[in-house]
Amino acid sequence: MNLGTDKTEAIRRALELNNESPDRGTVNHLWKLYQDTAEWKALSDASRTDYTQSSKQLLKTFGIAAPADITPQTCARYLRVERAAAPVRANREMALLSNLMNVAVERGDLLTNPCKQVRRNKERPRKTAPDPETLVAFLEWARKRPGQAQVLAGMAEFAALAGNRRIEFRTLSWPQVGEIEVRLMRGKQRDGNAVVEVVAISTALQSLFSRMRALAKDDRMGYVFPTVAGNAYTDSGFKGMWNKLMSAAMKEKAITTRFTFHDLRAYYVTQYKQQRGALPDLHANPGTTARIYDRTKTVKRSGL
């Protein structure tokens, strides 16, 4: 049978003749293999969701390609040309491709990973965080709305007062809340070692927990920030609800400047530094906290 002159297509046809997967020997096949690795299983749910999202666009370009056909030049073109309109997302997609190429190296399909020879697009961290007046206005507006708006406002207030990632407190339950402290697991662990974060309950946090208890489905063993059914929010479910709430706040002019939920972590860092004179312990490398989350616009110091 004439298999044509296209090598990739010829391989696909030959595999089909032998009743083997037509994806065998392609990046599509590596994606399937990667999802069976221990590395994939060790990822957080959020990371797996992000990689799955990244795979949709990535496989449109590289899916039927053989790993050996991917060069540093093709990776660079993907980053700078094919995905020029979304440089940050392109970096995430290239990170996934690099993991797939690692699988190919371990299988003996490649000698080196071509993705590691290409620098990523430069990313600029967000430079703004909501000011206290904007945050207060948003929270007061949200608390007056019906339905789940009060719970979402509580989650926003907790992020601003404690500085935790959403993944760390989305499933926070009442047994974790003591009289003087809250105990949570750090989302991104240091060198694979579990790190427990103990957050002292301030007057503002105590007031927040009192309001959340009044809304609780089960204030003994239940979730602090429950859905209508009393369950913990899924990440996708929360994102959808938060975007709707923020759009409503802008439409009703409760606030004039939109902010992301992740900006609340930056709010905590910025306010913490202004009040305490030092950065909080959020990362193994304090430089990461300073570079990404410290959005101080005015710096004060004493002269000699």
Span 224-242, pLDDT tens digits: 999 999 999 998 899 999 9
pLDDT digits (tens, 9 = 90+) for 194-207: 788 899 999 999 99
pLDDT for the residue 21? 58
Which distant-in-sequence residues (6+ apart) come within 8 Å of 273 by Cβ?
A: 279, 294, 296
* Paired tokens of 6: 């296209």
pLDDT for the residue 93? 97
Please, which residues bridge with residue 193 across strands? 190
Segment 161-182 mean pLDDT: 94
pLDDT for the residue 16? 62
**What's the DSSP call for residue 279?**
-
- The pLDDT-based confidence of 290 (bands split at 50, 70, 90) is confident
Q: Closest Cα to residue 172, out of 222, 217, 207, 216?
A: 222
pLDDT for the residue 20? 56
Contact in structure between 294 and 270 (CB atoms under 8 Å): yes
Radius of gyration of the chain (CA): 24
Supply the CATH classification number for the domain 132-292. 1.10.443.10
pLDDT, mean over the chain: 90
Q: What φ, ψ does residue 238 adopt, rounded to 5°?
A: -65, -45
- 14 pLDDT higher than 90: no
| Cβ count within 10 A of residue 185 | 15
Q: Where in the chain is the domain with CATH 1.10.150.130?
A: 7-117
Under CATH, to which class is 7-117 assigned? mainly alpha
Q: What φ, ψ does residue 120 adopt, rounded to 5°?
A: -80, 165
**What's the DSSP call for residue 121?**
P
Query: CA 149, CA 152: separation in Å to the nearest integer?
Result: 5
Q: Is 156 exposed, middle or buried (0-12, 13-18, 19+ CB in 10 A)?
A: buried
pTM of the entire structure?
0.74
- The pLDDT-based confidence of 191 (bands split at 50, 70, 90) is low
Q: Where in the chain is the domain with CATH 1.10.443.10?
A: 132-292
